[in-house]
Structure 1
């Protein structure tokens, strides 16, 4: 009887140690994702326990769900205040804010996230998940194995030694939204601060049209398009397209591309916007330490 009781105590202690290691961030976990034909990172996530299809969007600023999906989730607490922001094209958007109970991706869970609801049709996509949820949780976007990895203290120590570190600048607005930026050198000539936007899709390079003269772009021969906003079709953006010789991360030549088609956009409020996929096959975001580590 004594031997049996001691065995039970040892088992309970071992279970407690395992549970504590999970809670203190030493148990690495991951969730799978797929890449859409446009290059978006699509994964399964739950809002208040209701599962949907979401895009992990490093340029979203604020987590968003569609009105249709919100009806599935049920009642969300609407805050009295709202949040006004500007899209990269300068388009003004005012969003109602809602308190949810939880946002869950695999074993990762954020309690009491704030999100917004928009009456938009994203097809099979139920919303966008921003990086705001991961301010204290380093994560890796692994394009090679198509999974999001939630890093631990131990795994981050290895990544720090094996990857190329690129400093990030964070734009945190009123503790409600988050966007990330880094410096890139264009055509070995201009050093510009670009928003890094996985929600833009694959191989997207957008520059402010003010840099057309400095980069020697001939607007007379460049392709020109006018694109209406998906939020307000009355808002239209003029875009010129031409080739750019090179774009290189200032902090690391490991992140570079050559001879890419870029869009030059009138009214862009940033120096530029770049997609994420070309930067590396494994990209770790350590937002607490304001860095991106590329492998």
Structure 2
């Protein structure tokens, strides 16, 4: 089966200042009103502001930032992926040198670039940048924290455990999924996407009937159309309403009620959800394929 690539595009204005890191194993982030995590990183000494995006698949810079980088090496081969709405992306791949992301140091990192305006953002850093060990998104302290084995063992004692499934493609892209019960009816495998934006819960429109949603009921459902930022001929049809309950299949107490939902025609996944609502901190233990959630 062809692996899929999700690239989240965001436009964010009035970028705020960063807080200072409190420990060497921490990467501070700014939690934007849009729900995105704004982080700082550098390539070959060129500083940039990026969205940390667990749904992005691979790390992508905007062209204005990419053009500032020295010693970029274009790979002979490329990569083909698909956005969640089914749009095909054929992209070139590049190797850049001296990638610094908090305590993460890589002599060489594989990236791509996109000729797009993300409102002052220099690009998207993917989950793959932190795949080598456990880390936590701490929404209280507003840091990404690289966890030691001892710290991870302590977290396990009190956290809710949510199994995840990893989608890895050719050692180039990485995204993750987990199963959730929707309205105590459907058990769906949803993409966990920190780049989706605030209060974003998207489900495939093929589930409307099973969930008792009548898309023609204009008193409860609002229909909108969204034109793609990449292919102007591609228009997504979206039905916006509310559902009663969403809960982790394996940790039912991790749930949200009366939540907004967008049913999207042509969505290639069961659904995509933002992750900020899961808890005050979310630890990613990818080697053991679990999230450890503290609420």
Structure having the larger proportion of residues in helix: 1
Cα distance in structure 2, aligned partners of 1:48 and 1:162? 40
Instruction: Kindly state the Cα deviation for residue 77 of structure 1 after the two structures are TM-superposed.
Output: 0.4
Q: Where does residue 165 of structure 1 map in the other structure? A: 161
Q: Where does residue 284 of structure 1 map in the other structure? A: 283
5+ residue gaps, structure 2, are 1-22
Query: What is the CA deviation profile of residues 47-95 of structure 1, one whole-angstrom value per residue up to 9, with x for unaligned ones?
Result: 2221100000000001000100011223410000110000111010111
Q: Where do 1:153-192 residues align within 5 Å? A: 153-192=149-188
Instruction: Kindly state the Cα deviation for residue 154 of structure 1 after the two structures are TM-superposed.
Output: 1.1
Choose from 101, 104, 110 the match for 2:100.
104
Cα distance in structure 2, aligned partners of 1:241 and 1:212? 11
Q: How many residues align?
A: 269
Q: Where does residue 293 of structure 1 map in the other structure? A: 292
5+ residue gaps, structure 1, are 1-26
Q: Where does residue 125 of structure 2 map in the other structure? A: 129
Q: Secondary structure in 2 aligned to 1:132?
A: helix
Q: Where does residue 228 of structure 1 map in the other structure? A: 227
Q: Give 1 or 2 for the bigger CA radius of gyration.
A: 1
Instruction: Kindly state the Cα deviation for residue 135 of structure 1 after the two structures are TM-superposed.
Output: 1.7
Runs of 4+ in 1 over 2 A off after TM superposition: none
- What TM-score, normalized to structure 2? 0.89
Q: Where does residue 5 of structure 1 map in the other structure? A: none
2:24/2:103 contact within 8 Å kept: no
Query: What is the CA deviation profile of residues 106-147 of structure 1, one whole-angstrom value per residue up to 9, with x for unaligned ones?
Result: 222233211101101001100001011222121100111111
Q: Where does residue 243 of structure 1 map in the other structure? A: 242
Q: Where do 1:3-152 residues align within 5 Å? A: 29-152=25-148
Cα distance in structure 2, aligned partners of 1:102 and 1:266? 41
Instruction: Kindly state the Cα deviation for residue 33 of structure 1 after the two structures are TM-superposed.
Output: 0.6
CA-based RMSD of the aligned residues comes to 1.2
